Structure 1
Amino acid sequence: MRTASNRFGFALLAMTLAACGTSLSARAADKADAESLVTKSRLTIEALARDAAFAPLKAALAQAKAVLIFPQILKAGFFLGGSGGSGVLMARDAATGQWAGPAFYTMGSASIGLQAGAASAEMVMVVHSQKALESLYANKLTLGSDATAALGSKGVEKSAGLDADFVVYAKVKGAFAGVSVDGSVLDVRQQLNAAYYGEAATPVDILVRHSVRNPDATRLQTTLTALSR
């Protein structure tokens, strides 16, 4: 009996250790994914800000409440039968001009309208309204019903863009292209937030309370501060 009991105990211990190892490995992979996403987001915002086709972007950032950066939005048929991708939300302090974050988000839809023949796009969504930002903090947000979005292009900030909750800038295969995001759902990636900061953290913890930090985000923060001056 004791031998059988010992064997059961050893087996249970081995299973527990294996589960712990798997959990730690998954958390390490999530952290690496999050860090890679932060780097790609910085490169995306730098590239779009340098592109003459997106000339209004820097001025929009200077007036922004926040910005969502999606380094890669994949077209329907490539992204699990739909369209979407992962990105970061950065919030701007209007008093200091400094940026906080990132908090991690997904955008998904069956109908994100990329330019015909394009498989993916880099996307920057400038948040202009406090209402939209608070909705992002609280729960899922559906563009077109919970918040309005306008396509960022020359002159849009003087017309529809000023009234929209979001102004969207999208680069498809190196050229400015129209994108329809109505029906797209923005949602928090809690798992990546926890992995990146080493503990559970909500968007409010990250972007409002500033109760968690990661030095890895410094380059993205300083890039946005420089671009929004």
Structure 2
Amino acid sequence: MKILRKLALFATLAAALAVGQAGSAAALTPQQELVDKSRITFEKLITNYEFGELPGYLKRAKAVMIFPEIFKAGFVIGGEGGNGVLMVRDANQGWSQPAFYTLAAGSLGLQIGGQMSETVFTIMSDKALQAVLNDQMKFGGDMSIAAGPIGKGLGANTTTNLEADVYTFAKTSGLFGGVSFNGAGILRKDDWNGAYYGPGTLPQWIVIDRKVSNPNAQGLVNALAPY
């Protein structure tokens, strides 16, 4: 009888644990999922042999934007978009917590195919960072963007002449074969920032003033800390 009671108790505890785990999984918000994916993308690209100069660019950057999934697809009329995070470096406090943004663009032309890219944008100028914070960032024209060097191997760090406002490091798959972000706009996601940090939260409060924080973003902050 004692054995049966122990087995019943064990079964009850196991069921409770399973329900708790299911509840935790169900509680994963879209914002937290993006933060987790951003960390994975960053760790993947920063250690990628093809992006050996990324650490050097990152150490000179004013800020970084990480987009785990930028989708580009089209049939005659093309478009691209995805959600990502902005993080700003402070000389004394290190990297900020992430603020949420979205990238969107459309284009006309003969396009057939699809592509998904994991992308890190290194923001090199105060002008570009301010444009992001003012919700006025559009790549191309006054806001120059260029592809970061690839294929130089890990530890290259030979960056010398940084002329563009923003550099991109993108790992792509699909049929387009190249990534161009000219004409794309970066817009803040106020609803996501509010959901993650509190109603009415602005990116400035998160990345510059550092008035708010979320402990669940610490893993991403720690990933950037060495740079």
TM-score range, shorter chain: 0.7 to 0.9
Indicate which of 138, 146, 151 corresponds to 1:150: 146
- Report the equivalent of 1:179: 179
- Report the equivalent of 1:6: none
1:93 aligns with 2:95: no
Cα offset for 1:117? Answer: 5.0
C-alpha separation in 1, matches of 2:100 and 2:88? 12
1:70 aligns with 2:67: yes
Answer 1 or 2: which has greater strand percent. 2
- Report the equivalent of 1:189: 189
- Report the equivalent of 1:36: 33
Contact 1:30–1:191 (CA under 8 A) maintained in structure 2: no
C-alpha separation in 2, matches of 1:179 and 1:81? 13
CA deviation digits over 1:150-176, x for unaligned, max 9? 1011479434xx0111000100139xx
Cα offset for 1:118? Answer: 4.7
- Report the equivalent of 1:168: 168
Extract unaligned runs of 5+ from structure 2. Answer: 1-25, 153-157
C-alpha separation in 2, matches of 1:132 and 1:197? 24
Q: Secondary structure at the match of 2:97?
A: strand
Structure 2 residue identity aligned to 1:56: E
Cα offset for 1:191? Answer: 0.5
Shift in alpha-carbon separation, 1:81–1:111, aligned structure 2, 3 A: closer
- Report the equivalent of 1:103: 99
Contact 1:124–1:168 (CA under 8 A) maintained in structure 2: yes
Structure-1-length-normalised TM-score: 0.76
Contact 2:74–2:114 (CA under 8 A) maintained in structure 1: no
1:139 aligns with 2:121: no
- Report the equivalent of 1:83: 80
C-alpha separation in 2, matches of 1:185 and 1:47? 25
CA deviation digits over 1:123-179, x for unaligned, max 9? 1100000111011111231100241101011479434xx0111000100139xx642
Q: Secondary structure at the match of 2:204?
A: helix
1:126 aligns with 2:128: no
Shift in alpha-carbon separation, 1:111–1:53, aligned structure 2, 3 A: farther
Shift in alpha-carbon separation, 1:181–1:33, aligned structure 2, 3 A: same
Q: Secondary structure at the match of 1:70?
A: strand
Structure-2-length-normalised TM-score: 0.77
Shift in alpha-carbon separation, 1:121–1:140, aligned structure 2, 3 A: same
Structure 2 residue identity aligned to 1:137: L
C-alpha separation in 2, matches of 1:158 and 1:178? 25
C-alpha separation in 2, matches of 1:146 and 1:187? 17
Contact 2:78–2:107 (CA under 8 A) maintained in structure 1: no
Shift in alpha-carbon separation, 1:152–1:178, aligned structure 2, 3 A: farther
C-alpha separation in 2, matches of 1:192 and 1:60? 28
Q: Secondary structure at the match of 1:163?
A: coil
Shift in alpha-carbon separation, 1:31–1:165, aligned structure 2, 3 A: farther
Cα offset for 1:95? Answer: 3.8
Structure 2 residue identity aligned to 1:140: Q
Cα offset for 1:81? Answer: 5.9
- Report the equivalent of 1:224: 224
